Structures are given as structure tokens and as C-alpha cells.
Structure 1
Amino acid sequence: MTAQTRKPARLDELDRNILRALQADAGQSLDEIARQVGSSKTPVWNRIRKMREAGVMGPSTVVVDPQAIGLDACFFVLIRTSEHEAEWQRTFLAALRARPEVQEAHRLAGEIDYILKVRVADARAYDVFYQALISEVRVFNVTALLSMEEIKTGTALPV
């Protein structure tokens, strides 16, 4: 997502129903989606194609259970920096994008400049991530918060 704002797409009820069906399970067949939304396959496919072209939908992906692959620890990392120059920001953002442990990164308003969602195996793996990050980019303060329990997660948006 970019900082640029754009006009929201104009969606009718059929578009919204298609999006709900895809958000629930993007792997289902076109026939199944058409059945769920009360339409036929061709109009549903055309609408999906148009929504993709309009940027309403990104690429389809698979949701992997982190614990099933040994990523048991989720840290929320709060970063404060005294650096705000363009070059520092480019280096910092490149470092974040290069690290698969970083699931999400957000620039914030307020006292904290950035928040990261980091998935790793354990505290030792987090420390390896942390040491590598601070060796690449200078930051003023880093606070790591270990998530004790994931209460709600998801990517579905209310459409």
C-alpha cells in the first residue's frame, strides 16, 4: 500500500458478494463462487477480472499457519528514530523489505515512528533479527512486545 490516496472503486452488491466469497476462500472454483453469489460463471469472471484491473484485488495467496512451520513467536516491534532524512528512510525500508520475518511494517503518527509485526521461532531468533537490523540501520529506540496469545487475525475486509 502506498501513501498515495485514490478514489474508492465503485462496487455494486454483486461485486461485494464476489469479494466476500473470495475473501472467505480464494481457492474455490468459479462455479462455486457463481453459485454462492447467485450469478453465472462468465459475469462473475468478468467482474473478478475488472476488479483486479482496477486494483481492488491483489494477487491470490495462501495463508500458512506459522506454528505449523515452527514460527511460534510473534513480536510487535516499536521503533523510534531520530533520523528522518530520505536516505535513512530508503535504507531502513529496504532492510525491512529484505527480511522475511517482517510480516507487516507501518509508519505511525505520534511518539513511535514505526511498528513491525515479526514472526520468528523464539526469543533467540528474534535477537538474531534485532542484531542484524540495528547493525544495518541506526535507530534511537527499539521496544519488542511478545504476543502471548493471538486473539484475532485475518485479512478479510468488510465489503
Structure 2
Amino acid sequence: MSVQIDALDRKILAALQEDASQSLDEIAKVVGSSKTPVWTRIRKMREAGIIGRQTVLLDAEALGLEACFFVLIRTSEHEADWQQKFLHALQTRPEVLEAHRLAGDIDYILKVRVPNARAYDRFYQALISEVRIHNVTALLSMEEIKSTTLLPIEDGAQENGNAP
């Protein structure tokens, strides 16, 4: 079910993505509306699932999680039982920040945050003890060039090819 959102909704979403701790008054001022319609729209977008949970972004390096690995996984197992065990293993490991199933030669890619290479090895050993994996390649990120949680919310006219 697709929910229709208009330009004001997009402005509200952009303001929330930038800083969800803003008051309704602040958001209303930024988007050029009043508090009650902004609150109503936010509530409707929450109910529709457009707005999920609110959280706080933490600085991984400041917390000692200095190593970011991208883990490429190939498997020869594709049965439902194996997939269920694998997904459970990923979901229970706090080091796994993201996990994606891919099309192509690589089956899965994980984004893993740990303090150092030794901690990554502990993660790796634990993972392969839980599920059978055909091939694992770990790539250490040397520098994070861009990282954002902001989705590219564009004007609806541009999305439909009706841009001026």
C-alpha cells in the first residue's frame, strides 16, 4: 500500500531527518505551517509506517569501535533451515550494523563495527561456528568518506518526471 505524501509532508520529513529532537513549534516554523497540522501529519505518517522509531546517532570511534569491516559472504547453502540459522546469527550479533542479501556473485554483505582486528576475528570465529559458510572476505574500511541516515526526499513532481 503506497501512501501519498505532499510537499509539506516532505518538508516535515526533511526537518525530522535533520533533527528529530526539534519541538513541534520549531518544525512548524521551519516548514511554514502551524503546530496542529504538523502534529497531525506526523501522526499519520507514523501510522502509515513512513516514520519509524526515533533514535540517537552515536559516534562509533568515540566509543572505541574504530574498525569498520565490510564482510562479503558466499554460501553454497540455500535451504530455508540454513537461511533461518544464518539470519538468526546475524540478528543476535550486535557488531552487525547492516546485512544485505545480494544479487550476483556475492550472496550477502555485512557492515560490522568492532574495536579492532582481533575483535573482528572473534566475531568471525563465532559466526562460522554457528553457520556453515562457503567463503568469507573481510574488507577493512580505511576511511569513511560519507555516511548518512538522511534519505533523499525529493519533490514529488521531480519523482514523476514532471520537473520544470
TM (norm. structure 2) is 0.92
Aligned counterparts, 1:86-101, within 5 A: 86-101=80-95
Shift of 1:158: 1.1
Q: Does 1:16 align with 2:14?
A: no
Residue in 2 aligned with 1:3?
none
Identity %: 74
Residue in 2 aligned with 1:158?
152
Shift of 1:8: 3.4
Q: Does 1:108 align with 2:102?
A: yes
Shift of 1:155: 1.1
Question: Any stretches of 5+ residues in structure 1 without a counterpart?
Answer: 1-6
Residue in 2 aligned with 1:29?
23
Aligned residue identity for 2:122 = V
Q: Does 1:140 align with 2:146?
A: no
Shift of 1:118: 0.1
Distance 2:2 2:151 in 1: 14
Tell me which stretches of 4 or more aligned residues in structure 1 moved more than 3 Å. none
Q: 1:75 is paired with a residue of what secondary structure?
A: strand
Shift of 1:107: 0.1
How big is each residue's C-alpha offset from its partner over 1:62-87, in whole Å with a ceiling of 9 and x where there is no partner?
00000110000000000000000000
Question: Any stretches of 5+ residues in structure 2 without a counterpart?
Answer: 154-164
Aligned residue identity for 1:30 = L
Distance 1:20 1:145 in 2: 33
User: Which of 141, 146, 149 is the matching residue for 2:143?
Assistant: 149
Distance 2:143 2:102 in 1: 24
TM (norm. structure 1) is 0.95
Shift of 1:133: 0.2
